[in-house]
Protein backbone atom coordinates (compact mmCIF):
# COMPACT_ATOMS: atom_id res chain seq x y z
CA UNK A 1 0.00 0.00 0.00
CA UNK A 2 1.32 3.38 -0.89
CA UNK A 3 1.72 5.80 1.95
CA UNK A 4 -0.01 9.11 1.56
CA UNK A 5 2.54 11.86 1.91
CA UNK A 6 1.80 15.44 2.74
CA UNK A 7 4.59 17.95 2.50
CA UNK A 8 4.13 21.06 4.56
CA UNK A 9 6.30 24.06 3.94
CA UNK A 10 8.06 25.32 7.02
CA UNK A 11 10.74 27.96 7.59
CA UNK A 12 14.44 27.50 7.00
CA UNK A 13 13.89 26.21 3.50
CA UNK A 14 13.22 22.67 4.54
CA UNK A 15 10.18 20.49 4.37
CA UNK A 16 8.63 18.34 7.00
CA UNK A 17 7.35 15.21 5.31
CA UNK A 18 4.37 13.86 7.14
CA UNK A 19 3.26 10.31 6.61
CA UNK A 20 -0.51 10.44 6.68
CA UNK A 21 -0.98 6.71 6.19
CA UNK A 22 -0.90 6.03 9.90
CA UNK A 23 -4.24 4.92 11.22
CA UNK A 24 -4.81 7.47 13.90
CA UNK A 25 -2.03 9.93 14.50
CA UNK A 26 0.38 11.39 12.03
CA UNK A 27 4.01 10.58 12.58
CA UNK A 28 6.55 13.30 11.99
CA UNK A 29 10.17 12.37 11.44
CA UNK A 30 12.72 14.93 12.55
CA UNK A 31 16.29 14.51 11.46
CA UNK A 32 19.18 15.49 13.65
CA UNK A 33 22.90 15.85 13.18
CA UNK A 34 25.49 15.17 15.86
CA UNK A 35 28.60 15.59 13.73
CA UNK A 36 29.16 19.06 15.19
CA UNK A 37 29.39 17.57 18.68
CA UNK A 38 31.89 14.74 18.16
CA UNK A 39 32.53 14.24 21.88
CA UNK A 40 28.86 13.53 22.57
CA UNK A 41 27.63 11.43 19.65
CA UNK A 42 26.80 8.44 21.84
CA UNK A 43 25.01 10.57 24.43
CA UNK A 44 23.02 12.43 21.77
CA UNK A 45 21.92 9.16 20.19
CA UNK A 46 20.86 7.88 23.62
CA UNK A 47 18.91 11.05 24.34
CA UNK A 48 17.11 10.75 21.00
CA UNK A 49 16.39 7.09 21.69
CA UNK A 50 14.93 8.02 25.06
CA UNK A 51 12.49 10.39 23.36
CA UNK A 52 11.68 7.80 20.70
CA UNK A 53 10.92 5.29 23.42
CA UNK A 54 8.59 7.76 25.11
CA UNK A 55 6.52 9.08 22.19
CA UNK A 56 5.19 7.82 18.88
CA UNK A 57 3.86 10.92 17.13
CA UNK A 58 7.33 12.28 16.42
CA UNK A 59 10.52 10.38 15.65
CA UNK A 60 14.09 11.60 15.96
CA UNK A 61 16.35 10.08 13.32
CA UNK A 62 20.03 10.80 12.78
CA UNK A 63 21.00 11.86 9.29
CA UNK A 64 19.04 13.13 6.36
CA UNK A 65 18.57 16.86 5.98
CA UNK A 66 18.90 17.59 9.67
CA UNK A 67 16.78 20.36 11.10
CA UNK A 68 18.09 19.80 14.63
CA UNK A 69 21.83 20.39 14.62
CA UNK A 70 24.10 19.71 17.58
CA UNK A 71 27.29 21.62 18.24
CA UNK A 72 29.69 21.63 21.15
CA UNK A 73 31.20 24.64 22.84
CA UNK A 74 33.77 25.14 25.57
CA UNK A 75 33.01 28.62 26.81
CA UNK A 76 31.39 27.89 30.17
CA UNK A 77 28.25 29.72 29.10
CA UNK A 78 26.19 26.60 29.59
CA UNK A 79 24.36 24.48 27.09
CA UNK A 80 21.50 26.04 25.18
CA UNK A 81 19.43 25.90 22.05
CA UNK A 82 17.99 28.32 19.56
CA UNK A 83 14.80 26.68 18.37
CA UNK A 84 11.31 27.32 17.10
CA UNK A 85 10.11 24.55 19.41
CA UNK A 86 8.76 22.78 16.37
CA UNK A 87 11.63 20.60 15.30
CA UNK A 88 14.11 23.17 14.05
CA UNK A 89 17.03 24.27 16.14
CA UNK A 90 20.69 24.62 16.85
CA UNK A 91 21.78 22.90 20.06
CA UNK A 92 25.02 23.82 21.80
CA UNK A 93 26.49 21.43 24.37
CA UNK A 94 29.00 23.09 26.69
CA UNK A 95 31.98 20.89 27.55
CA UNK A 96 32.70 22.97 30.65
CA UNK A 97 29.20 22.30 31.94
CA UNK A 98 29.83 18.60 31.46
CA UNK A 99 33.17 18.97 33.26
CA UNK A 100 31.26 20.51 36.18
CA UNK A 101 29.45 17.21 36.48
CA UNK A 102 26.26 17.66 34.50
CA UNK A 103 25.40 14.52 32.54
CA UNK A 104 25.64 15.11 28.79
CA UNK A 105 22.87 12.64 27.94
CA UNK A 106 20.53 14.54 30.23
CA UNK A 107 21.60 17.85 28.70
CA UNK A 108 20.96 16.50 25.19
CA UNK A 109 17.54 15.13 26.20
CA UNK A 110 16.68 18.51 27.75
CA UNK A 111 17.66 20.53 24.69
CA UNK A 112 15.84 18.08 22.43
CA UNK A 113 12.82 18.67 24.66
CA UNK A 114 12.96 22.37 23.78
CA UNK A 115 13.11 21.48 20.09
CA UNK A 116 10.02 19.33 20.63
CA UNK A 117 8.21 22.29 22.19
CA UNK A 118 8.69 21.94 25.93
CA UNK A 119 9.62 24.87 28.19
CA UNK A 120 12.05 24.87 31.09
CA UNK A 121 10.84 23.68 34.47
CA UNK A 122 13.92 24.23 36.63
CA UNK A 123 11.98 23.74 39.86
CA UNK A 124 10.76 20.35 38.69
CA UNK A 125 12.06 17.00 39.95
CA UNK A 126 14.91 14.92 38.56
CA UNK A 127 12.33 12.66 36.93
CA UNK A 128 11.74 15.44 34.39
CA UNK A 129 14.34 16.24 31.76
CA UNK A 130 13.07 19.82 31.50
CA UNK A 131 14.10 20.51 35.09
CA UNK A 132 17.58 20.77 33.57
CA UNK A 133 20.28 21.89 35.98
CA UNK A 134 17.68 22.53 38.69
CA UNK A 135 18.12 19.24 40.58
CA UNK A 136 21.92 19.56 40.42
CA UNK A 137 24.71 17.38 39.10
CA UNK A 138 23.56 14.32 41.04
CA UNK A 139 20.59 14.10 38.70
CA UNK A 140 21.54 12.14 35.60
CA UNK A 141 18.06 11.17 34.44
CA UNK A 142 17.73 11.55 30.67
CA UNK A 143 14.34 9.88 30.29
CA UNK A 144 11.33 12.20 29.87
CA UNK A 145 8.69 11.96 32.55
CA UNK A 146 5.28 10.54 31.64
CA UNK A 147 3.84 14.06 31.71
CA UNK A 148 6.57 15.42 29.46
CA UNK A 149 6.07 12.57 27.01
CA UNK A 150 2.30 13.09 27.06
CA UNK A 151 2.70 16.79 26.31
CA UNK A 152 4.97 16.12 23.33
CA UNK A 153 2.66 13.37 22.15
CA UNK A 154 -0.30 15.77 22.21
CA UNK A 155 1.60 18.59 20.55
CA UNK A 156 2.79 16.42 17.68
CA UNK A 157 -0.43 14.50 17.14
CA UNK A 158 -1.13 16.73 14.14
CA UNK A 159 2.49 17.31 13.18
CA UNK A 160 2.64 20.37 15.43
CA UNK A 161 1.48 22.41 12.46
CA UNK A 162 1.49 25.82 14.14
CA UNK A 163 5.09 26.93 13.84
CA UNK A 164 6.40 29.19 16.58
CA UNK A 165 9.06 31.84 16.47
CA UNK A 166 12.67 31.03 17.10
CA UNK A 167 13.66 31.56 20.69
CA UNK A 168 16.69 30.79 22.77
CA UNK A 169 16.55 28.61 25.84
CA UNK A 170 19.14 27.23 28.20
Residues lying near Zn ion in the complex (CB under 5 A): 120, 132, 169-170
- Active-site positions read 111
Q: Is there a contact between 6 and 18 (Cβ–Cβ < 8 Å)?
A: yes
If you count DSSP H runs as helices and E runs as strands, how many of each does the chain have, helices first?
A: 4, 8
Select the residue whose beta carbon is closest to Zn ion and give its number: 120
86 labeled binding residue: no
In the complex, the smallest distance separating the C-beta of residue 135 from Zn ion, rounded to whole angstroms, is 13
Q: Is there a contact between 60 and 27 (Cβ–Cβ < 8 Å)?
A: no
Parallel/antiparallel/unpaired status of strands 58-62 and 27-36: parallel
Name which of 31 and 80 has its Cβ closer to Zn ion.
80
Name which of 132 and 135 has its Cβ closer to Zn ion.
132
Name which of 26 and 113 has its Cβ closer to Zn ion.
113
Name which of 102 and 159 has its Cβ closer to Zn ion.
102
In the complex, the smallest distance separating the C-beta of residue 113 from Zn ion, rounded to whole angstroms, is 7
110 labeled binding residue: yes
Angstrom distance (rounded) from CA 51 to CA 151 = 12
120 labeled binding residue: yes
Those residues whose C-beta lies under 8 Å from the C-beta of residue 29, and which sit 6 or more positions away, are 17, 19, 58, 59, 61, 64
Q: Is there a contact between 158 and 8 (Cβ–Cβ < 8 Å)?
A: no
In the complex, the smallest distance separating the C-beta of residue 154 from Zn ion, rounded to whole angstroms, is 20
Burial 102-124 (b: 16+ CB within 10 A, else e): bbbbbbbbbbbbbbbbbebbeeb
45 labeled binding residue: no
In the complex, the smallest distance separating the C-beta of residue 42 from Zn ion, rounded to whole angstroms, is 21
Residues making up the annotated binding site for Zn(2+) are: 110, 114, 120
Q: Which residues are annotated as a binding site for Ca(2+)?
A: 105
Amino acid sequence: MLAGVLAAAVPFGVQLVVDTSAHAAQVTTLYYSSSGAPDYVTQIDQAAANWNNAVTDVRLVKGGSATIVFHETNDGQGSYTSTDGHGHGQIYLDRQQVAEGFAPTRIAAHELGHNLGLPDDYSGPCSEVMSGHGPGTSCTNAVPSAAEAAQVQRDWANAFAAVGGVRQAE
